[in-house]
Structures are given as C-alpha cells and as structure tokens.
C-alpha cells in the first residue's frame, strides 16, 4: 500500500493508469536519474547504505561530482552534527538511528524540491524520531521542500 505509492512515484513499480506530475511535467516513465535531476529525493525504509563505505563516501554518492559537496554536506551537518565527527567511520558501524539519519542526510544532499520518505521512524527511539522531525521541519522552512512521509506512527 503506502510503500507501493512511493515506489510507483519513483518508477520502481509500473503505473497502471493516470500520470505522475511534478511542477506540471509528467514524471511517469522517466528514469530515476531524470527524477533526481528534476528535484526528487528519496529516503527508503530499507537500510540503503553502502555498509563498508565511510559516512563521507555515502554522502558523496548523492552527488554526481565533488562540485558542491562542501556546501551540501555543511547543510546536512546543520541537521545532524554528529555526522561531521563520524566522516571516516564505516556506515555499517553506525547505530540504527544514526544510519537512518545518514540515509536522510544523503537524500538532502541534492536539496530536493520533493522529498519522499519511507518509514523513517521504524524501530527508533523517540529522541531520534524528534531529531529527524526537527530536521524535516527546518528543511521545509528554509528550502520550501515538499515532504511526503509514509509512516505508521508519526510523533
């Protein structure tokens, strides 16, 4: 149900009928690269990190080149300061909550117009959920990001 909606928007599941539009342009049937280029970000439910790569490398993968990395990563540190201290640490050694924040941080690296988030709070302690919620509120306030959250339990 809920996750399928996100996967359909992202083109991972075929659209049976209708059209998906962003800023008036059809997004139906376009590649994931085109979706990203048009401003769609995604933070999946699954632990979608490269476990053996460092925090820095996982964040760097969000961008096509190193151009703009310093500015983008500073924005992410503003939301999740602990990541700055863990840049060289392997992503797989982070706690579950820290991994979720890294996944969200990677999605925010591109400064998306539309951010799709799937079950970000699943299994997390309330303080981590509140930190994530605060980051999303700030992202909305400062950048005007539209955020679609698929979630069973919202704080």
Structural contact between residues 10 and 40, judged by C-beta atoms closer than 8 angstroms? yes
Q: Which pTM value belongs to this model?
A: 0.86
Residue 155 falls inside a structural domain: no
* CATH number reported for the structural domain that contains residue 32 in this entry: 3.40.50.300
- Confidence band, pLDDT 50/70/90 cuts, at residue 31: confident
**From residue 14, how far is each of 17, 25, 31, 33 by CA, in Å?**
9, 18, 12, 17
Residue 113 falls inside a structural domain: yes
Residue 89 falls inside a structural domain: yes
Tens digit of pLDDT for each residue in 68-88? Answer: 888 889 989 999 999 999 999
Q: CA nearest 25: which of 15, 12, 14, 40?
A: 40
63 vs 81 pLDDT, higher one: 81
Domain count, the chain: 1
Tens digit of pLDDT for each residue in 103-135? Answer: 999 999 989 999 999 988 888 888 888 999 999
Strands 40-43, 114-118: pairing kind: parallel
Residue 45 falls inside a structural domain: yes
Q: What is the pLDDT of residue 154?
A: 59
* Domain hosting residue 122, numbered range: 2-150
Residue 111 falls inside a structural domain: yes
With H, G, I as helix, E, B as strand and everything else as coil, classify residue 43. strand
């Amino acid at each position: 149900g809920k996750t399928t909606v996100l996967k359909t928007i992202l083109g991972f599941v075929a659209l049976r009928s209708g059209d998906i539009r962003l800023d008036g342009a059809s997004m139906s049937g376009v590649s994931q690269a085109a979706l990203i280029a048009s401003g769609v970000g995604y933070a999946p439910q699954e632990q979608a990190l490269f476990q053996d790569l460092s925090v820095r490398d996982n964040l760097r993968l969000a961008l096509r080149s190193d151009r703009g990395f310093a500015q983008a990563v500073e924005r992410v540190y503003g939301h999740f300061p602990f990541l700055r201290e863990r840049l060289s640490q392997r992503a797989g050694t982070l706690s579950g909550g820290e991994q979720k924040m890294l996944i969200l941080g990677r999605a925010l690296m591109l400064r998306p117009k539309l951010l799709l988030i799937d079950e970000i709070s699943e299994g997390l302690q309330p303080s981590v959920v509140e930190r994530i919620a605060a980051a999303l509120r700030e992202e909305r306030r400062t950048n005007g990001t539209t955020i679609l959250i698929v979630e069973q339990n919202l704080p």
